[in-house]
């Protein structure tokens, strides 16, 4: 309760620096945001592909993106993502003995079923995935796909049907197809099963307000200093 009150006070303070149209847009997007679906990117070496996936995640209302950095480090790009990296939450794993294991343990602790995408035959079709349970979709590198470790630790494999000579789609295309399929099914569930909690909404509302306000970070730091001096 105290945290909710604190967030409400902070949002009230920030509201004086932002117009009503922007606030309405933030609330509209929040109403469609979800953590019920999440995306994991494993060691993507082409930054423009990873940024294109972020754009799709934002477009389909997926809030969390988990990035496993083994050999390759992810760098956001406004050119490709169109600023989407500002509106999704990135979780990076780069300092552990097994970054894949650390990522998967984090997801498991939050009750996600982990499904790795692979073009190989015999996998579950993306349209057959049960969205009644929290789902994490794992996408591998553009050249080699998912690693052997992901293959071993994932709860299952999913694939997208192919009807041509090529064996797989481009990474960003694959992500968009999968997210469209699952998001469409998700919309048939009660909103209470996939929408953000009140606390999550308030936290994001504050964060997005700061990012939407001109000199928002400077204004926010000034507010924090004022609060500290009062305490």
Distances (CA, A) of 148 to 93, 118, 183, 229: 17, 12, 28, 53
Q: H helices of 69-214, where?
A: 78-81, 99-109, 148-153, 171-186, 198-212
The model's pLDDT over 132-144, given as tens digits with 9 standing for 90+, comes to 999 999 999 877 8
Among 178, 54, 206, which Cα is nearest to 115's?
178
Q: What is the maximum span of the chain, computed from C-alpha positions, in angstroms?
A: 67
Among 122, 135, 184, which Cα is nearest to 36's?
135
Among 64, 57, 112, 55, which Cα is nearest to 91's?
64
Read off the pLDDT of each residue in 225-231 and give the average, rounded to a whole number: 82
The model's pLDDT over 8-65, given as tens digits with 9 standing for 90+, comes to 999 999 999 999 999 999 999 999 999 999 999 998 877 888 899 999 999 999 999 9
The per-residue pLDDT for 123 is 78
The model's pLDDT over 194-214, given as tens digits with 9 standing for 90+, comes to 999 999 999 999 999 999 999
Domain residue spans of the chain: 34-195, 196-226
The per-residue pLDDT for 121 is 55
Reply yes or no on whether the pLDDT at 96 is more than 90.
Answer: no
Reply yes or no on whether the pLDDT at 223 is more than 80.
Answer: yes
Highest mean pLDDT among 77-86, 116-125, 177-186: 177-186
In this prediction the pTM is 0.91
What six digits make up the tokens of 226?
């004022």
CATH homologous superfamily of 34-195 equals: SPOUT methyltransferase, trefoil knot domain (3.40.1280.10)
């Amino acid at each position: 309760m105290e945290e909710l009150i604190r967030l409400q006070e902070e949002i009230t303070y920030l509201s004086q620096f932002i117009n009503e149209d922007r606030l309405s847009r933030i609330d509209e997007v929040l109403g469609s945001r979800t953590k019920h679906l999440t995306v994991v990117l494993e060691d993507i070496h082409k930054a423009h592909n990873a940024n294109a996936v972020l754009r799709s995640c934002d477009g389909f209302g997926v809030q969390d993106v988990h990035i496993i950095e083994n050999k390759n480090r992810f760098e956001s790009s406004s050119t490709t993502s169109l600023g989407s990296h500002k509106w999704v939450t990135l979780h990076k794993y780069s300092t552990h003995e097994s970054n894949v294991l650390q990522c998967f343990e984090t997801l498991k602790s939050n009750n996600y079923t982990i499904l790795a995408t692979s073009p190989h035959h015999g996998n579950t079709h993306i349209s057959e995935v049960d969205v009644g349970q929290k789902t994490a979709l794992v996408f591998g590198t553009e050249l080699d796909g998912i690693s052997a470790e992901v293959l071993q630790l994932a709860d299952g494999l999913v694939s997208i049907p192919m009807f041509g000579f090529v064996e797989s789609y481009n990474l960003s295309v694959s992500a968009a197809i999968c997210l469209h399929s699952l998001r469409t099914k998700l919309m048939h569930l009660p909103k209470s099963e996939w929408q953000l909690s009140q606390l999550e909404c308030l936290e994001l509302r504050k964060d997005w307000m700061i990012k939407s306000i001109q000199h928002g970070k400077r204004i926010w730091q000034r507010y924090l200093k004022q609060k500290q001096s009062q305490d």
